[in-house]
Amino acid sequence: MTGPSPDPLPLVLLHALGQAPMAWEDVVVRLYGSRRLLTPWVPGLRPTERKTVPMAEAAAALDQDLMLEGMRQVDLCGVSYGAMVAAQVAADYPERVRRLVLVGGQVRPSRTVLRLQSALVRMVPRSRLADAGVSKEQVLRSQQVVRALDLTEALPRITARTLVVVGGKDLANQAGARALAAGIPDARLRVLEGAGHLVNTEKPEELTELLRDFLDG
């Protein structure tokens, strides 16, 4: 006879730059009841914060928050900026992350992409971001962290089973996704056809199915 299956680990979902935790709503609704879910503010992106938070400090702050929540080990999924924070957490605290899903992430973002993103953010009205619970000033400050990002040396330290996801329409991040998958031991790469960059809001049903298959398989 075999004993009962252990309860699934909590799943932590990290939003992108320019998003708030509510960006995960459509995914959370679909996963509700299957496991404990946490959608925190990514450290450094809360609108009330007034300074930039380097990636390693953001990872340490998130790790501390998880400990305070009583989560000694988790499954972790991040989109875009959240994916890069998630990768840093998995590299710096490998015993804390069982499985890792990185969506639309980068290892070392290209200057061309960063300039384009910065220009696009500056064009967005403050009111539009505020309606989503996001501070335009904080987004612009956090782009400085992205400019300094280089996860090359961190990736080999990741021991979590890892799935890298990129939207088929997200041409700017195709190379970054391949670099992530190549840099993390035994990582798998999945291209989600028809999706752009922010898969959690554009294709929540498809992302939910990927999460279920990967985390429970």
pLDDT, averaged per 10 consecutive residues of the chain (217 residues), comes to: 64 92 96 95 86 90 94 96 96 97 91 68 66 67 76 97 97 93 97 94 96 92
Q: What are phi and psi of 107, to 5 degrees?
A: -95, -50
Number of domains into which the chain is organized: 1
With respect to residue 145, please indicate whether it lies within any of the assigned structural domains.
yes
Which H or E run includes 178?
helix 174-183
Q: Which pair of structure tokens corresponds to residue 150?
A: 């280089």
Which H or E run includes 11?
strand 11-14
What gap in Å lies between CA 36 and CA 128, rounded to an integer? 31
pLDDT at 208: 97
Q: For residues 163 and 96, is the Cβ–Cβ distance under 8 A?
A: no
With respect to residue 109, please indicate whether it lies within any of the assigned structural domains.
yes
Where are the strands (E) in 19-149, listed by range? 37-38, 74-79, 97-103
CATH number at residue 194: 3.40.50.1820
Residue range(s) defining the domain that contains residue 65: 11-216
pLDDT at 6: 66
With respect to residue 158, please indicate whether it lies within any of the assigned structural domains.
yes
Q: Model's pTM, two decimal places?
A: 0.89
With respect to residue 4, please indicate whether it lies within any of the assigned structural domains.
no
Q: What is the DSSP letter of 107?
A: S
With respect to residue 1, please indicate whether it lies within any of the assigned structural domains.
no
Q: For residues 71 and 38, is the Cβ–Cβ distance under 8 A?
A: yes
pLDDT at 18: 83
With respect to residue 88, please indicate whether it lies within any of the assigned structural domains.
yes
pLDDT at 119: 66
Q: In what order do the strands lie in the sheet with 97-103?
A: 37-38, 11-14, 74-79, 97-103, 161-167, 188-192
Q: For residues 142 and 117, is the Cβ–Cβ distance under 8 A?
A: no
With respect to residue 5, please indicate whether it lies within any of the assigned structural domains.
no
pLDDT at 105: 93
With respect to residue 6, please indicate whether it lies within any of the assigned structural domains.
no
